Amino acid sequence: MHRQYQPAEMAFGHAHPADHDHDHHHHHHDHHHDHDPNAERRQLVAATAVVGLLLAADQVLAAWGSVDRYPFGVSLALLAAVIGGGRVVYLALAALIEGRIGADIALAIACVAAALLGEYFVAAEVVFIALVGECLEALTFDRAQRAIQKLLEFRPRTARVLRDGQEVEVAAEALAVGDVLVVRPGERIAADGTVVDGRSAVDQAVLTGESLPVDKGEGDPVYTGTYNQFGRLEVRAEKVGQETTLGQVIRLMARAQAHRSPLARAADRYARLFLPAVLTAAVLVLLATNAGPLWEWARLGASPALDPMPALAVLVVACPCALVLATPAAVLAASARLARRGVLVKGGAALERLARVDAFAFDKTGTLTEGRPELGDRVALDPWDPDELLRLAAAAERPSEHPLARLLVAEAARAGLVLPDVEDFQAHPGTGVSARI
């Protein structure tokens, strides 16, 4: 199941997975504007579940020797093959029409050949493996979609701009280069730009992974999606929409997910290389196993009684089921494990390259933290006592929301120190706090 994001639309929250008609072994050819990927996904899951249940029921009834495995005279395995095989054959025909030779065709040939051999369970098994592989790819696609959606949530929907000296709230999509944005404490910045007035601390973790906010003042750059913690900022917009750093990250991820990795194309490469050879081998086997009847037909003109079973068996054996199922399963498992560890992966191609990496280079140590500061040694100069110094510092910092302030207050609590009340508290972005005890 191969879909392609429209990056320009994705950057503004209008994510429409679009079908991509080449370079994959599962394609969807409904380009209608009302195409519902969720409905398609539900249909895929339902078909997979029905085929799987029919296969299981067929084997259970066969083990019991029950004639009920042939309700209305039809094998449950044959019913499963027909229900799921329609999708496989449709995709194969679509591939042929487009001039593509891929795993779709190999799967369809194996399914039809097994059915002609009377091996309905094998035919249904081929179909089931193809559907399961498609479901796994859909899960991987959904995981990538959720990761991109999480990034979209960091982009503000509205922004305040200065117009004739007045603050006016506008939609983030309506921002233009040159607008002066007003960003209050607790708000996210809606455009990449430069601070023209004010001082504050800005949390840039969404872009840089830095655990501590960065002090910003006049002339400093700020970025879309970052969080203004304390002071009021006025920012002149220099990049808006998909041209911002966050927009480019989203677009990069969308493009990465729109293309299959080299490993994921293994089944199609196999089909392109070996399917012609397999078909040739099947024809040779057909001729070799039916040499006698064919000779009689050539000599006497009598209708030959051909036995196609050996040739059909060759087509079934050549099915790339393992590749169809193994690749999406491996990518899904790796992506899930990395997601639990907080690692965001662009796509399957990145995972493949990761296996060949010998060393990593990081541009700054701030991205390699655990995300929370810790207090190291406390060194107090005479006549100060370390505990007394911590008590006074924590008391002064208690009204502040800065991560380092919360750290000092937590350390004082762990040390069992009683903090005095303070007056005239003031936060000074970029320098610290002041208070009277």
The radius of gyration of the chain from alpha carbons, rounded to an integer in Å, stands at 32
Residues 216, 199: contact at Cβ < 8 Å? Answer: yes
pLDDT tens per residue across span 247-279: 888 887 777 666 666 666 666 676 677 778 888
Which 3-state string (H, E, C) describes 9-32? HHCCCCCCCEECCCCCCCCCCCCC
List pLDDT tens digits, range 29-77: 444 444 566 777 788 888 888 888 888 888 777 777 665 556 554 678 8
Q: Which residues of 147-167 are buried (b: 16+ CB within 10 A; e: fewer)?
A: bbeebbebbbeebbbeeeeee
Residue 227, C-beta contacts closer than 8 angstroms, at least 6 positions apart: 186, 187, 188, 189, 202, 203, 206, 213
- Any catalytic annotation for residue 363? yes
Q: Encoding tokens for residue 120?
A: 């309905």
The overall average pLDDT reported for the chain is 77
User: Which one is predicted more confidently, 104 or 388?
Assistant: 388
The DSSP output letter for 190 is -
Three-class SS state of 433: strand
- Given a contact cutoff of 8 angstroms between Cβ atoms, the answer to whether 263 and 354 are in contact is no
- Of the candidates 140, 142, 109, the residue with the CA atom closest to the CA atom of residue 127: 109
Catalytic residue among 34, 358, 363, 382: 363
Each residue of 68-102: pLDDT tens digit?
Answer: 556 554 678 888 888 888 888 888 888 788 877 77
Domain with CATH 2.70.150.10 in the chain: 158-247
Higher pLDDT pick, 35 / 333: 333
Which residue bears the tokens 């990069």?
252
Average pLDDT on 289-307 reads 72
State the pLDDT confidence band at 325, using cuts at 50, 70 and 90.
low
Assess whether pLDDT exceeds 50 at residue 20: no
Judged by DSSP in three states, 228 sits in strand
Span 279-284, average pLDDT:
86
* Whole-prediction pTM: 0.57
Rounded to whole angstroms, the Cα distance separating 396 from 422 reads: 7
Nearest to 151, CA basis, from 79, 217, 201, 225: 225
**Where do you find CATH 3.40.1110.10 in the chain?**
386-436
Q: What is the pLDDT of residues 142-152, one digit of tens each?
A: 777 777 777 78
Say whether pLDDT at 129 is over 70.
yes
- Contact between 246 and 154 under an 8 Å Cβ cutoff? The reply is yes
Q: Domain 158-247 - what CATH class?
A: mainly beta
**386-436 homologous superfamily:** Calcium-transporting ATPase, cytoplasmic domain N (3.40.1110.10)
Q: Is the pLDDT of residue 301 over 60?
A: yes
- How far, in Å, CA of 106 to CA of 92, rounded? 8
Question: Could you tell me which residues are beta bridge partners of residue 182?
Answer: 160, 234
Strand partners, 170: 159
How far apart CA 287 and CA 299 sit, in angstroms, is 16
Q: Determine which of 214-223, 263-272, 398-407 has the lowest per-residue pLDDT on average.
A: 263-272
Please choose, from the candidates 321, 292, 314, 318, the residue with its C-alpha nearest in 3D space to the C-alpha of residue 305. 292
Per-residue model confidence (pLDDT) at position 22 = 40
Helix (H) or strand (E) holding 114: helix 103-116
Q: What is the pLDDT of residue 40?
A: 76
- Answer whether 188's CB lies under 8 Å from 228's CB: yes
pLDDT tens sequence across 227-253: 998 788 999 999 998 889 888 888 877
